[in-house]
Structure 1
Amino acid sequence: MLRLEIAALYAGVNILILLVLAVLVVAGRRKHKITLGDGGNADFNRAVRAHANAAEYIPAGLVGIVVLALMEPASPLWLLHAAGISLTVGRILHGAGLHAGTLNFGRMFGMILTWVSYLLIGGGLIAAGLAQQL
């Protein structure tokens, strides 16, 4: 599998995660008859926050993964997979955890995995950028 194919795999899965979360928001709007805002409904607010939170974290993560993929040979394949898997699993766990309720394993571990992916991506990009200069 080539580097950009790896990036495409994680981009595709994470875009589908965003789609599922968006569909859950639309379904919640229909179920609770809410046309604007969250209508003060706690269940619906969690669906909105799950989508919004994913929309905040996924784009930057995917941009980082794509740039890492382009930094051949300075970024190893294991780094692309580690960043992609931690971002993807983190976003799935966090979204499911938010839908389930308040602070729980899914939310906490999902956020930790997302931050791990950001650490891997950020560190990898810095290392790759410096390696190109030496």
Structure 2
Amino acid sequence: MLNVTSIYAALIALFFMWLSGRVIFYRRKNRISLGDAGDKSLLKRMRAQANCAEYAPIGLILLALIEMSGAPAFAVHLLGLMLLAGRVSHGVGFSASPPRMGARVFGTAITLTMILLSALGLLVHSLF
């Protein structure tokens, strides 16, 4: 069982549901059923949701592989926290009005750092 990865997968899924809810409720409130209708606020919400959907899966796959490879629980937690903090920071910063560029940049940086560290760790572990 992937006990540690399961925690972060569940938390990121809940955050993704929050991002999705923001899109859905905004669409219903403003009667926009398809596309963004040129509405910049809706577009920001849609992109925040899509960005999470683009980066979270690879991060969670890598996290699961790290855990399955026998990495210490603290290392898996650290990587999981990086992924969660990165996705939340980016999603909130990106969809805020006005956007919080510091949060967005931090979120992107910490997410990409987590992906890079995980990929390198798996390569080193697998090759040596």
TM range (shorter): over 0.9
Structure 1 residues 50-129: aligned runs within 5 Å: 50-72=48-70, 75-100=71-96, 101-102=98-99, 104-129=101-126
Gapped regions of structure 2 (runs ≥ 5): none
Runs of 4+ in 1 over 3 A off after TM superposition: none
Gapped regions of structure 1 (runs ≥ 5): none
TM-score normalised by the chain length of structure 2: 0.93
TM-score normalised by the chain length of structure 1: 0.89
Number of residue equivalences: 127
- Asked if the contact 1:79/1:120 (under 8 Å) is kept, the reply is no
Secondary structure, aligned partner of 1:107: helix
**2: distance between equivalents of 1:33 and 1:113?**
36
**2: distance between equivalents of 1:12 and 1:104?**
27
What is the root-mean-square deviation in Å for CA atoms of aligned residues? 1.4
Query: Shift of residue 79 of structure 1?
Result: 2.3
Identity of aligned residues (%): 34
- Asked if the contact 1:29/1:35 (under 8 Å) is kept, the reply is yes
